[in-house]
C-alpha cells in the first residue's frame, strides 16, 4: 500500500538564548478533528490548551507537512485561521518551503486556549492510503493528552490502522471504530522530542483529486515565466541571426528570475525560523550561504556565456547547450517550482540549434574554406551570398579565425586558397619567360600573363595537431568551467564548516581541521576535473565520460551525448577505432565528404579534419582530394597516374612549393622521396 504523508504537527521552541523560547516543563493538551468532505478535502480543527511555566514562554510554530500529489504540486492548505477561546482571530504568519507549510503563531499566553482551523486538499492523494505524523520536534513541549478524531461523512470503513511512537509500535495507543470513522487515543504522554505516527487505509476509494488546478495555483509565477520564455523562443524563429543572438542573451538573463525567486523563498523560510530550534544552526547557515552561492554560480556562467555570445565566439554556440546543465543546480531545492527552471532553459534550443544560427558563429567556415580551395579564389561578396552570411560579418569571422585554410585579403575583398597564395609568393616571375604578370585561376593554378605557362602549387602538409571533434571540445570546455566551480565551492563549503564548527562549540582547532580537509578534497576534485578536461581533448577518458553521462542520465541531455559517443568519429578520436577500418572502406571506392560524414556519424567539418589528419600524416594509405572534396585509397590514384606528369606514389598532381617540386596530395618528391 502506498503510504501518503498527510499531516505533521510541530510545536517548536527556539534554542537560542531568547526570552521567547519554551522551557522544560511546558505541557499541552491536543484534540484534533478531521472531517472529510465529498470532494476529497479534509476540514481540520486542532484545539490546543497550553500550560507553560511563565508568561511569554510559549512561542509556537505549526508545521504542516504536505505530501506530493504529482511532480509539480503538493497538497494544498486552504482557509487557515487561528482563534482563541473567545472566538477572536489571532495573527498568523505563513511560509512555505517544499513539503512544509508553516503557520507561525508567535508568542501566546502561558495558559492559552487556541484553535487552528484549515483545509487540506486532497486528503488522500492516492485516493486510499493516508499517514498522519506528529514529528519529534516538540522539544520542551510535552503533550499530556492527545486525541485524533476522524469523521468520514461517506461512512467508509478503514483497515490497516496502526500507530507508532518513535517508529516502534505504540502499546498505549487505542483505536475506537465508529460508523463514520474512528478515534485514536494516546494512553500516555507524548514526551518532548517524540514522534507519533498514524497510518491507515480507506477501503472505499475517495474521489479522484484535481491535478491541474493545484499545479497552476502553486506554480503561477513559474508558469508565467515559462510561457514568456516559450513566446520569446518562438518569436526568435522569425528573427535574423543578430536578433537571435540578442534574444538568447535576454533569455539567459531571464533564467535568473525563477532561480532568485526559489532561493528567496528558501532563505526566507529559515530567516523566520529565528530564534532557532536546537540542532538547526548548521541548516540555517548552510541555507544562507548555499543559496547565494547557487545564484552566483548560474549568474557567473550566464555572464561568461553572454559575453562570448556578444563577441560571436564559436565556442559560445556549443556552450549554450550547457546552460541547461547549469540550471540543474537549483533542483536540490525542495520546491515544485524548481522543475520549471531546466524546462525553461531547454526552450531556447528550439531556435538556437538551427544551422543558419551556427554559421554566424563560424561553425560553417569549413565549408567556406573548402569552397575557396576548390575554386582557388573568390570574392567576399560571392562567398557571402553563397553561405548566407553578410559580407561584413563574414569578414569579421575570417579576420579572427586562425585555423581556416584560406587567405583573406580585406583590402581587395578576396578569399584565396592557401595554395594560390603560396604560388603568388613563391613564383614572382615566370621561370619560362621572365614575365612578372602572374595571374591565378582555379585551385592552386597560376598562369603567366605573357607566355601562358601554367604552374601549380602544393598544399600537402602533415597535420601536426590532432583535431578534436566539436562535440568533445564542447564537453571538455564544460568540464573546464566545472573545475573552476568546484574550486570556488570548495572554498565556500570549507568556510561554512568552519563557522558551523565554531558555533557548535567544537573549538577553532577542530573546526579549522574540518574546513581544511574539506577544501583539500575539493581541491583534489578541481585538479582531477581539469585533468579530465585535458584528457578528453587528448583522446583519453572515454570510459570515465560515459560513466558521468550515465550518472547524469535523468537530465536527458547526457543521454543524447551518450548516444553520440558511439559514432566512429568519436571512437577514432579516443583510439577505439582502428584507422585501417576506414582504409578498408575506402578500398571499396572513393567517398565524398557527405558520405564520409555519414559513415563516421558526424558533420562534414569533423570528417574533413579527421581525414586530413590521417592522410596528411600517412596513418592510412589514402588521399584527401580537396578539389573534389573526396577521399580515395592510394591504389585508386596509382591506377589513374600518368608516370610522366603525376606522383608515382599516389597519382596526385605535382606542384611547386618553395622552389621544390612535390606532390600536392602526399608531399612525395618525383624521385620517390617524401617530405
Distance, CA of 440 to CA of 421 (rounded, Å):
9
CB–CB of 670/654 below 8 Å? yes
* Beta strand segments in 122-187, E: 129-134, 142-152, 158-165, 168-169, 173-178, 181-186
**Over residues 616-629, mean pLDDT:** 77
For the chain, the domain total comes to 5
Grid cell at residue 519 = 577544501
- Asked whether residue 88 carries a pLDDT value surpassing 70, the answer given is yes
Bridge partners of 668, per DSSP, are 674
- In order, the DSSP letters of 402-431 are SS-SEEEETTTTEEEEHHHHHHHHH-SS-T
Q: Which is higher by pLDDT, 55 or 129?
A: 129
- Asked whether residue 244 carries a pLDDT value surpassing 80, the answer given is yes
Q: Do 369 and 433 have their domain in common?
A: yes
Q: What angle, rounded to 10 degrees, do the helices at 281-310 and 241-254 form? A: 170
- Asked whether residue 375 carries a pLDDT value surpassing 90, the answer given is no
pLDDT at residue 248 in the model:
92
CB–CB of 372/415 below 8 Å? yes
561 domain-assigned:
no
- Asked whether residue 255 carries a pLDDT value surpassing 90, the answer given is yes
Q: What is the CA radius of gyration of the chain?
A: 36
Domain end call among 357, 387, 405: 357
Q: Do 191 and 294 have their domain in common?
A: no
- CA distances to 459, 638, 639, 646, 650 from 643, rounded to whole Å, are 20, 9, 10, 6, 11
Distance, CA of 168 to CA of 184 (rounded, Å):
16
Q: What is the DSSP letter of 655?
A: E
Q: Do 27 and 169 have their domain in common?
A: yes
CA max distance for the chain: 118
Range of the domain at 389: 365-456
**Over residues 224-238, mean pLDDT:** 92
pLDDT band at residue 487 under the 50/70/90 scheme: confident
Q: Which residue has the cell 559513415?
A: 599
Q: Do 109 and 164 have their domain in common?
A: yes
Phi-psi region of 486 (alpha: psi -120 to 50; beta: other; left: phi over 0): alpha
- Asked whether residue 130 carries a pLDDT value surpassing 50, the answer given is yes
CATH of the domain at 407: 1.10.10
Q: What angle, rounded to 10 degrees, do the helices at 470-503 and 508-538 form? A: 180
Q: Do 398 and 517 have their domain in common?
A: no
Distance, CA of 104 to CA of 273 (rounded, Å):
9
Tell me if residue 446 falls in helix, strand or coil: strand
Q: What angle, rounded to 10 degrees, do the helices at 380-387 and 365-375 form? A: 130
Grid cell at residue 545 = 565520460
Q: Do 251 and 315 have their domain in common?
A: yes
CATH of the domain at 16: 2.60.40
pLDDT band at residue 53 under the 50/70/90 scheme: low
Contacts of 577 by beta carbon, 8 Å cutoff, 6+ apart = 568, 571
In 3D space, the residue among 386, 366, 365, 358 whose CA is nearest the CA of residue 629 turns out to be 366
670 domain-assigned:
no
**Over residues 618-623, mean pLDDT:** 84
pLDDT at residue 234 in the model:
92
- Asked whether residue 225 carries a pLDDT value surpassing 90, the answer given is yes
Is the alpha carbon torsion for 397, 399, 405, 409 positive or negative?
A: positive
Q: pTM of the full predicted structure?
A: 0.67
559 domain-assigned:
no
127 domain-assigned:
yes
Q: Do 275 and 172 have their domain in common?
A: no
Distance, CA of 175 to CA of 147 (rounded, Å):
10
Q: Do 353 and 370 have their domain in common?
A: no
Find the angle CA(60)-CA(65)-CA(68) to the nearest 5 degrees: 160
* Beta strand segments in 410-562, E: 414-417, 438-440, 445-448, 454-456
Helix (H) or strand (E) holding 315: helix 314-319
Q: Do 372 and 505 have their domain in common?
A: no
326 domain-assigned:
yes
Q: Which is higher by pLDDT, 63 or 627?
A: 63
pLDDT per residue as tens digits for the range 293-319 = 888 888 888 988 898 899 888 778 877
In 3D space, the residue among 40, 2, 5, 1 whose CA is nearest the CA of residue 154 turns out to be 40
- CA distances to 121, 377, 603, 638 from 374, rounded to whole Å, are 71, 8, 19, 22
Q: Which is higher by pLDDT, 446 or 119?
A: 119
CB–CB of 258/223 below 8 Å? no
Distance, CA of 289 to CA of 278 (rounded, Å):
20
Bridge partners of 77, per DSSP, are 120
Q: Which residue has the cell 580585406?
A: 410
Contacts of 536 by beta carbon, 8 Å cutoff, 6+ apart = 472, 475, 476, 479, 545
| Mean of pLDDT over the chain | 77
548 domain-assigned:
no
Domain end call among 404, 430, 456: 456
- In order, the DSSP letters of 95-129 are EEETTEEEEEEEEE-TT-EEEEEEEEE-S-TTSSE
pLDDT per residue as tens digits for the range 10-31 = 222 222 333 334 444 577 888 8
pLDDT per residue as tens digits for the range 636-658 = 655 544 444 566 565 566 554 44
- Asked whether residue 674 carries a pLDDT value surpassing 70, the answer given is no
- CA distances to 188, 193, 261, 403 from 341, rounded to whole Å, are 48, 38, 11, 38
- Asked whether residue 253 carries a pLDDT value surpassing 90, the answer given is yes
Distance, CA of 666 to CA of 623 (rounded, Å):
7
CB–CB of 498/511 below 8 Å? yes
Q: Do 91 and 197 have their domain in common?
A: yes
Phi, psi of 390 (to 5 degrees): -55, 145
CB–CB of 646/639 below 8 Å? no
Distance, CA of 500 to CA of 288 (rounded, Å):
12
In 3D space, the residue among 540, 558, 560, 537 whose CA is nearest the CA of residue 548 turns out to be 558
Distance, CA of 19 to CA of 275 (rounded, Å):
10
Q: What is the DSSP letter of 468?
A: P
Q: Do 60 and 95 have their domain in common?
A: yes
In 3D space, the residue among 360, 369, 416 whose CA is nearest the CA of residue 388 turns out to be 360
pLDDT at residue 7 in the model:
29
Distance, CA of 632 to CA of 609 (rounded, Å):
15
Between β-strands 438-440 and 454-456, what pairing exists: parallel, antiparallel or unpaired?
unpaired
463 domain-assigned:
no
pLDDT at residue 18 in the model:
34
Distance, CA of 175 to CA of 186 (rounded, Å):
9
Bridge partners of 168, per DSSP, are 165
Find the angle CA(369)-CA(357)-CA(414) to the nearest 5 degrees: 30
- Asked whether residue 264 carries a pLDDT value surpassing 80, the answer given is yes
Domain end call among 427, 456, 485: 456
578 domain-assigned:
yes
Distance, CA of 297 to CA of 551 (rounded, Å):
21
Distance, CA of 143 to CA of 184 (rounded, Å):
14
Burial class (CB in 10 A: 0-12, 13-18, 19+), 332: exposed
Grid cell at residue 120 = 487540506
Q: Do 190 and 280 have their domain in common?
A: no
**Over residues 608-637, mean pLDDT:** 78
Bridge partners of 103, per DSSP, are 62, 94
In 3D space, the residue among 75, 99, 68, 101 whose CA is nearest the CA of residue 2 turns out to be 68
pLDDT at residue 15 in the model:
29
pLDDT at residue 10 in the model:
27
Amino acid at each position: 500500500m502506498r503510504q501518503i504523508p498527510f499531516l505533521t504537527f510541530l510545536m517548536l521552541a527556539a534554542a537560542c538564548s531568547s526570552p521567547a523560547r519554551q522551557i522544560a516543563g511546558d505541557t499541552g493538551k491536543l484534540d484534533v478533528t478531521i472531517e472529510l468532505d465529498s470532494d476529497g478535502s479534509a476540514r481540520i480543527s486542532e484545539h490546543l490548551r497550553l500550560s507553560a511555566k511563565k508568561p511569554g514562554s510559549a512561542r509556537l510554530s505549526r508545521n504542516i507537512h504536505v505530501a506530493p500529489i504529482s511532480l509539480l504540486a503538493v497538497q494544498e492548505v486552504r482557509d487557515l485561521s487561528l482563534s482563541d477561546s473567545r472566538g477572536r482571530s489571532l495573527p498568523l504568519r505563513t511560509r512555505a518551503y517544499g513539503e512544509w507549510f508553516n503557520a507561525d503563531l508567535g508568542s501566546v499566553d502561558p495558559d492559552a486556549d487556541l484553535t487552528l482551523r484549515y483545509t487540506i486538499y486532497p486528503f488522500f492523494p492516492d485516493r486510499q492510503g493516508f499517514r498522519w505524523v506528529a514529528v519529534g520536534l516538540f522539544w520542551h513541549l510535552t503533550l499530556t493528552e492527545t486525541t485524533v478524531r476522524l469523521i468520514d461523512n461517506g461512512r467508509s470503513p478503514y483497515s490497516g490502522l496502526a500507530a507508532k511512537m518513535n517508529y516502534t509500535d505504540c502499546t498505549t495507543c487505542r483505536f475506537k471504530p465508529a460508523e463514520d470513522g474512528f478515534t485514536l487515543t494516546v494512553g500516555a504522554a507524548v514526551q518532548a522530542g517524540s514522534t507519533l505516527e498514524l497510518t491507515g487505509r480507506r477501503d472505499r476509494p475517495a474521489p479522484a483529486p484535481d491535478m491541474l488546478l493545484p499545479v497552476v495555483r502553486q506554480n503561477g509565477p513559474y508558469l508565467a515565466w515559462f510561457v514568456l520564455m516559450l513566446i520569446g523562443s518562438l518569436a526568435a524563429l522569425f528573427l535574423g541571426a543578430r536578433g537571435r543572438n540578442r534574444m538568447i542573451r535576454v533569455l539567459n538573463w531571464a533564467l535568473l528570475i525563477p532561480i532568485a525567486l526559489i532561493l528567496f523563498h528558501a532563505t526566507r523560510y529559515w530567516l523566520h525560523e529565528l530564534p532557532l530550534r536546537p540542532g538547526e544552526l548548521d541548516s540555517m547557515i548552510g541555507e544562507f550561504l548555499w543559496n547565494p552561492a547557487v545564484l552566483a554560480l548560474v549568474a557567473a556562467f550566464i555572464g561568461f556565456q553572454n559575453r562570448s555570445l556578444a563577441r560571436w565566439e564559436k565556442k559560445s554556440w556549443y556552450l549554450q547547450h550547457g546552460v541547461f546543465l547549469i540550471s540543474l543546480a537549483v533542483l536540490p531545492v525542495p520546491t515544485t517550482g524548481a522543475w520549471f527552471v531546466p524546462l525553461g532553459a531547454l526552450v531556447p534550443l528550439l531556435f538556437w540549434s538551427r544551422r543558419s544560427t551556427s554559421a554566424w558563429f563560424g561553425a560553417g567556415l569549413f565549408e567556406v574554406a573548402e569552397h575557396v580551395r576548390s575554386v582557388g579564389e573568390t570574392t567576399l561578396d560571392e562567398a557571402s551570398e553563397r553561405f548566407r552570411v553578410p559580407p561584413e560579418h563574414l569578414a569579421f569571422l575570417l579576420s579572427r579565425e586562425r585555423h581556416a585554410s584560406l587567405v583573406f585579403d580585406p583590402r581587395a575583398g578576396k578569399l584565396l586558397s592557401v595554395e594560390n597564395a603560396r604560388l603568388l609568393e613563391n613564383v614572382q616571375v615566370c621561370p619560362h619567360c621572365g614575365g612578372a604578370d602572374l595571374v591565378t585561376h582555379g585551385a592552386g593554378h597560376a598562369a603567366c600573363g605573357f607566355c601562358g605557362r601554367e604552374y601549380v602549387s602544393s598544399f600537402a602538409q602533415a597535420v601536426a595537431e590532432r583535431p578534436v571533434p566539436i562535440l568533445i571540445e564542447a564537453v571538455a570546455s564544460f568540464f573546464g568551467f566545472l573545475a573552476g566551480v568546484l574550486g570556488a565551492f570548495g572554498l565556500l563549503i570549507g568556510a561554512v564548516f568552519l563557522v558551523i564548527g565554531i558555533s557548535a562549540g567544537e573549538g577553532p582547532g577542530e573546526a579549522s581541521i574540518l574546513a581544511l580537509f574539506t577544501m583539500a578534497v575539493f581541491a583534489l576534485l578541481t585538479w582531477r576535473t581539469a585533468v579530465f578536461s585535458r584528457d578528453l581533448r587528448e583522446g583519453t577518458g572515454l570510459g570515465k565520460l560515459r560513466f558521468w553521462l550515465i550518472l547524469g542520465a535523468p537530465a536527458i541531455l547526457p543521454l543524447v551525448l551518450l548516444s553520440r559517443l558511439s559514432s566512429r568519429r568519436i571512437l577514432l578520436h579516443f583510439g577505439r577505432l582502428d584507422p585501417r577500418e576506414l582504409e578498408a572502406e575506402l578500398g571499396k571506392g572513393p567517398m565524398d565528404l557527405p558520405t564520409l560524414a555519414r559513415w563516421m556519424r558526424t558533420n562534414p567539418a569533423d570528417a574533413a579534419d579527421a581525414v586530413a589528419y590521417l592522410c596528411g600524416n600517412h596513418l592510412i594509405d589514402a588521399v584527401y582530394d580537396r578539389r573534389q572534396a573526396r577521399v580515395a585509397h592510394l591504389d585508386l590514384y596509382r591506377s589513374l597516374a600518368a608516370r610522366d606528369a603525376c606522383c608515382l606514389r599516389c597519382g596526385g598532381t605535382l606542384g611547386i612549393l618553395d622552389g621544390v617540386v612535390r606532390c600536392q596530395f602526399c608531399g612525395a618528391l618525383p624521385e620517390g622521396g617524401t617530405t
